[in-house]
């Protein structure tokens, strides 16, 4: 046969031919019977299942993923005509109230404003804004909340609170890392005492779950020390006595741990962190007023009875190392604690008495953009400038009222008839007030 000899079947009978391996991801003809689809064939199938597509090369490797630099060259810039670093420098200066609209521009803007990098730059460059977040309970016992933007001086609606806190009583509230607002514990009208913990991310405007507390409790005390959350005392449904137990949540470890118990169980009604120590004042199981102080460095509690505790009123706040408290129901006067004399002294008077109605009662005292912030049940806010320059010159702190609704002056008879008719009661009142920075 022209010098070409065809091999007989007997010659090939003793030789085992090894068929090439075929990449099942590329092969669309025959696959292993046990792998129902090509998608399921994630490994190389034996060559006995011969590929009938000769143009597909065996052992074809996947193309390497493009690097970040390559993707940056192909994708559209954040702002046309500007490199991304300059575009980000522009976007971090946009007021926070407009951020929801920025997320809708494109996917890249949405990803940018959903990450921590964007907000860490805002904080680093001094662009982060502080908003006031207020939880209120209406006459029917429902919990709602709003946020106040001090730049535009407007109250903003927020997503509903988690269902377990829509009617809860005696739950705690605290802020960790500046932008995470935690709700924990409390008493559900149906389920009773809770261990539940949830937190709101101000950067994403969403609620998330956190590990439950070690023990159910409501009407307890809470504080934040070194970005760790502490809860102490309170009550638990089914237990007649008050609780002494104390626990701490570390967000870095994402878990709760028990710390030293109080010497006396109590239901706290006021608490503050002053000079690195946590002061609590409340009622014991016999409804007697007791007070204790916690030392985080030694993990120990001690009873305390001095001028600071005896003259202590709610609400109060420790700011820049000084302890402040309201000196009247509507918060138009403030006091400051003098450590040298162990006594409280009159600090400032706004000369503007709001009224004796419960709607004007001061519900919270917080710090907002370097000023003391008095928040009342009617959602009015008074800012008190206590900057160092004013205090050094001896001038009286400046008062400013923002966020207030227009209140019409009513006559004595109008107030009297409203009281008789049952309309003089408090329609809603503030339960918690926090400041978040984003």
Q: Domain spanning 131-437 has what CATH number? A: 2.120.10.80
Instruction: Tell me what pLDDT residue 65 has.
Output: 62
Q: What is the DSSP string of 292-314?
A: EEEETTTTEEEE--SHHHHT--S
pLDDT, position 402: 83
Which candidate, 301, 251, 297, places its Cα nearest to that of 271?
A: 301
CA-wise closest residue to 173 among 115, 239, 113, 224: 224
Tens-digit pLDDT profile for residues 183-207: 999 999 999 999 999 999 998 889 9
pLDDT band with cut points at 50, 70 and 90 for residue 404: low
The residues spanned by each domain of the chain are 19-61, 78-124, 131-437
By C-alpha distance, which of 355, 268, 275 is closest to 321?
275
Element (H, E) at 282: strand 277-283
Tell how many helices (H) and how many strands (E) occur in the chain: 9, 26
Q: How far apart are CA 103 and CA 122, in angstroms?
A: 16
Q: How far apart (Å, rounded) are the C-alpha atoms in residues 33 and 48?
A: 12
Confidence of residue 351 (pLDDT cuts 50, 70, 90): confident
Question: pLDDT tens digit string along 329-343?
Answer: 999 999 999 999 999
What is the maximum span of the chain, computed from C-alpha positions, in angstroms?
A: 128
- Count of other CB atoms within 10 angstroms of residue 73: 9
Does the pLDDT value for residue 311 go beyond 80?
A: yes
State pLDDT tens for residues 74-128.
788 899 999 999 999 999 999 999 999 999 999 999 999 988 899 999 999 999 9
pLDDT band at 72; cut points 50, 70, 90: low
Domain 131-437 in the same topology as domain 78-124: no
The whole-angstrom separation of Cα 362 and Cα 315 is 7
User: Which residues on adjacent β-strands are paired with residue 270?
Assistant: 281
Beta pairing partners, 362: 376
Could you give the CA distance from residue 69 to residue 367 in angstroms, rounded to a whole number?
43
| 3-state SS class at 384 | strand
Distances 196 to 120, 237, 271 between C-alpha atoms, Å: 29, 15, 22
Strand (E) or helix (H) holding 15: none
Determine the Cα–Cα distance for residues 360 and 44; give it in Å rounded to an integer: 75
* SS3 state at 99: helix
Over residues 361-379, mean pLDDT: 93
pLDDT tens-digit profile of 262-276? 999 999 999 999 999
More confident residue, 427 or 152: 152
Q: CATH: 1.20.120, 2.20.28, 2.60.40, 1.20.1280. Which one for 78-124? A: 1.20.1280
């Amino acid at each position: 046969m022209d010098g070409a000899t065809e091999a007989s079947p007997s010659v090939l009978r003793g030789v085992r031919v090894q068929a090439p391996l075929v990449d099942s991801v590329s092969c669309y003809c025959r696959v292993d019977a046990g792998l129902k689809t090509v998608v399921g064939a994630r490994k190389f199938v034996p060559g006995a299942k011969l590929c009938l597509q000769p143009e597909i090369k065996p052992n074809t490797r996947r193309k390497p993923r493009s690097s970040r630099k390559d993707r940056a060259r192909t994708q559209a810039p954040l702002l046309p005509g500007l490199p991304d670093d300059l575009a980000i420098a522009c976007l971090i200066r946009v007021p926070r109230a407009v951020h929801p609209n920025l997320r809708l521009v494109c996917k890249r803007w949405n990803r940018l404003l959903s990450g921590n990098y964007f907000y860490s730059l805002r904080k680093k460059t001094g662009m982060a804004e502080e908003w006031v977040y207020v939880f209120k309970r209406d006459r029917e016992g429902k919990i709602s909340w709003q946020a106040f933007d001090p730049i535009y001086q407007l109250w903003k609606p927020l997503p509903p609170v988690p269902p377990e806190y829509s009617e809860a009583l005696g739950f705690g509230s605290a802020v960790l890392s500046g932008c995470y607002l935690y709700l924990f514990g409390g008493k559900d009208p149906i389920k009773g005492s809770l261990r539940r913990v949830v937190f709101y991310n101000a950067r994403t405007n969403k609620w998330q779950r956190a590990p439950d507390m070690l023990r159910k409790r409501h009407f307890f005390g809470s504080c934040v020390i070194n970005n760790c959350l502490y809860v102490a005392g309170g009550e638990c449904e089914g237990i007649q006595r008050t609780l002494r137990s104390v626990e701490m949540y570390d967000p870095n470890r994402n878990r709760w741990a028990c710390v030293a118990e109080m010497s006396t169980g109590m239901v706290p009604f006021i608490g503050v962190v002053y000079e690195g120590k946590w002061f609590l004042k409340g009622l014991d199981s016999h409804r007697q007023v007791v007070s204790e102080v916690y030392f985080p460095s030694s993990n120990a509690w001690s009873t305390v009875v001095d001028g600071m505790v005896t003259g202590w009123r709610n609400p109060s706040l420790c700011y820049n190392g000084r302890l402040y408290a309201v000196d009247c129901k509507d918060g138009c006067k403030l006091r400051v604690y003098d450590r040298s004399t162990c006594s409280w002294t009159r600090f400032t008077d706004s000369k503007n008495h709001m009224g004796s109605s419960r709607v004007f009662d001061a519900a919270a005292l917080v710090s907002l953009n370097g000023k003391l912030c008095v928040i009342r049940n009617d959602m009015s806010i008074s800012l008190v400038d206590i900057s160092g320059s004013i205090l050094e010159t001896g001038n009286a702190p400046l008062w400013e009222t923002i966020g207030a609704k227009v209140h019409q002056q009513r006559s004595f008879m109008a107030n009297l008839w409203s009281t008789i008719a049952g309309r003089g009661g408090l329609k809603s009142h503030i339960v918690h007030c926090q400041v978040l920075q984003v």
